[in-house]
Amino acid sequence: MDSSKALMKHVETAVISQTDYEKLRALNNGFVIRIVDEFVNLCKPSKVTVITDSEKDIQYVRERCIEIDEERKLATEGHTVHFDGFVNMQNHDQARDKENTKTLVPEGEYASPWINTIEREEGLNEILEIMDGCMEGHECLVRFFCLGPTNSKFSILALQLTDSFYVGHSEDLLYRKGYEEFKKLDGSDEFFYLVHSSGELTGSPPTTKNLDKRRIYIDLEEDRVLSVNNQYAGNSLGLKKLALRLAINKASYEDWLAEHFFVLGVHPKGKERVSYFCGAFPSGCGKTSTAMLPGQTIIGDDIAYLRPWEDTYCHAVNIEQGVFGIIRDINPDDDPVIYNTIITPKEVIFSNILINEGKPYWLGMGSEIPETGFNFSGEWFYGKTDENGVQIPPAHPNARYTVRIEDLENADPNLHAPDGVPVHAIFYGGRDSDTMPPVLESLDWDHGVYFGASIESETTAQTLGKTGVRKICPMANSDFIVIPLGKYLKNYSKFGNSLEKPPRVFATNYFLKDENGKYLNGMLDKLVWVMWAEGRTQGDFGAIKTPVGYLPKYDDLKELFIQYLDKDYKKNDYEKQFSIRVDKILQKIERIETMYKKEENVPEFFWNTLNSQRDHLIKLKDERGKFKISPSEFT
């Protein structure tokens, strides 16, 4: 029996209407119909609704969200709130479930030791058993989206099946319409597909009950993600970090890059130009604050695809059209653009915050928070504790907002450009208190790949109760890399070296401290580091060559500080920030070496770069007889 005839039985039983059946038939794609039929049979929803690109269909998703209480209207027009599952402060559905997010690996195939994997057949048997009947009593949405601009060589289409209207609504803000794009496939199976179910629900608002059976499995062989028993968008929105994993795998054998990148338009004062930067930073290392620098424009804050282009640059697109951002500490002083966007009338979804009289409140918002209200734990009051006696905050630390980028006043006009934008530079940022200077340019492309591969994020007392614990996070992407790390780095090297004009690569560190623990960087100093890097990409500034990269010259930074921050930048500050800490960098090299020796088939260029840097630093230490060397000693 072909897929169309098989699907007809669901029409006959009124699970899917004739109208919705015809919407699928109009795609002329047997693979789509086969997938829908397979998972309707497995998940057993009581109704299937196919959503096209029409405003009527999309409005249906918004309205049903409210009707079934997955979202609730707030006082400001267009604002709604969603709550995810909560048992206690240690057991909830309000963050990515790293433990139960696994990549399916065929038996006998190599996987890097830091990738969370499960043998493919075992994993499929497990999750398909859990998904059997998971949508009973639910309505299943069949959605079509485009990862990237429409009519673009960059983009990948995605089919989404979900029984969560909150997921469907979120995707309408975050992704571009794809139903008409699917028609252009002409029957091809070249698309990702993502199947999600919130599973059995409980309470009001309805939230996932069986969190112990939460599973998010990535199947690279089928270009699909299967996700069940969750609602939090990081686990349920297959098009986000889950599809990023699929794209990383696809890019690795098609010679392009799928990365955890922002895309920023940099606009230097007095210049009639814009330079586009990508950037990757681990959580808490300055990614959002860099992407939202005052006076600049944003194309994306999270995920980008990069491909070689005819103008000899690589070009990048944001695969999304919206932001699913952490709302904690968004306030009018530090984040005025985002703050003003989410407090004014427009389509905004808040999640896991506090509601009082129809108004949203969150941690660090810069104004007083009421002592009572409704939040993810139900009726809330100051001092309320969970079943284990742990105090429940008014809003979850990982509470979120979802909004379209075009609703931000700093949205770049090339947000939806089918050709993307030329990438002039890539920023890799980490957090370390005592090692790397605030900004540093790589010596060449492979050295830049080494920069990205050696990003370190240092923990703070606020997070783990212990400072100085450093975690290497390659390209700020380690949670999402699903292929062997050696293969990933080799693809990176090949990509940049094939370009006539590869992006310049810069490492940043906004967290350098002095001996007394005082930060050596001001909060807005990063604007100067970015502007220096922009000038380097355009030939405006020289630099000081060192064994670890190119350093800025003092006179250039002094001028930039006056121009952008109206600040007198002292030579003494420059010396403290940009002196090369030889002993600390040698220690970092040892940490990098230790980690990468655990990985098979790390490419030769990586070890050549590491060993060359170490040899030069040891020679420098022996010649100068000291561990800290001023930039002036390299000129």
What positions carry a catalytic annotation?
285
Long-range contacts of residues 414-419, Cβ cutoff 8 Å, at least 24 apart? 414/265, 414/299, 415/299, 415/300, 415/318, 415/321, 416/149, 416/150, 416/176, 416/321, 417/149, 417/317, 418/149, 418/150, 418/151, 418/152, 418/153, 418/154, 419/152, 419/153, 419/309, 419/315
H/E element, 421: strand 421-422
As a whole number of angstroms, the distance between CA 122 and CA 131 comes to 14
**Cα 488 to the center of its chain, rounded Å:** 18
Q: Exposed/middle/buried for 172, CB within 10 Å: 0-12, 13-18, 19+?
A: buried
Sequence letter at residue 287: K
Place of tokens 């995707």: 171
As a whole number of angstroms, the distance between CA 212 and CA 204 comes to 20
CA atoms within 13 A on the CB side of 426: 32
Place of tokens 């968008």: 233
As a whole number of angstroms, the distance between CA 273 and CA 295 comes to 13
H/E element, 276: strand 275-280
- Residues 330, 334, 340, 342, Cα dihedral to 10°: -10
Q: What SS3 state is found at 324?
A: strand
Edge-to-edge strand ranges of the sheet holding 378-381: 359-361, 354-356, 372-375, 378-381
Edge-to-edge strand ranges of the sheet holding 304-308: 257-259, 304-308, 314-318, 421-422
Beta bridge partners of 140: 48
As a whole number of angstroms, the distance between CA 198 and CA 196 comes to 7
> What are the residues whose beta carbons fall under 8 Å from the beta carbon of 516, sequence distance 6 or more?
none
* Bridge-based pairing state of the strands 580-581 and 628-629: antiparallel
* Pair of tokens at residue 366: 């810069």
As a whole number of angstroms, the distance between CA 239 and CA 221 comes to 17
The CA radius of gyration of the chain, in Å to the nearest whole number, is 25
As a whole number of angstroms, the distance between CA 291 and CA 191 comes to 29
Do residues 589 and 456 touch, judged by C-beta distance below 8 A?
no
* Pair of tokens at residue 96: 């990515």
Q: What's the per-residue H, E or C state across 426-479?
A: EEEEEECCCCCCCEEECCCHHHHHHHHHCCEEECCHHHHCCCCCEEECHHHCCC
- Crossing angle of helices 604-624/445-453, nearest 10°? 90
Beta bridge partners of 216: 101, 227
CB atoms within 10 A of CB 562: 13
As a whole number of angstroms, the distance between CA 617 and CA 619 comes to 5
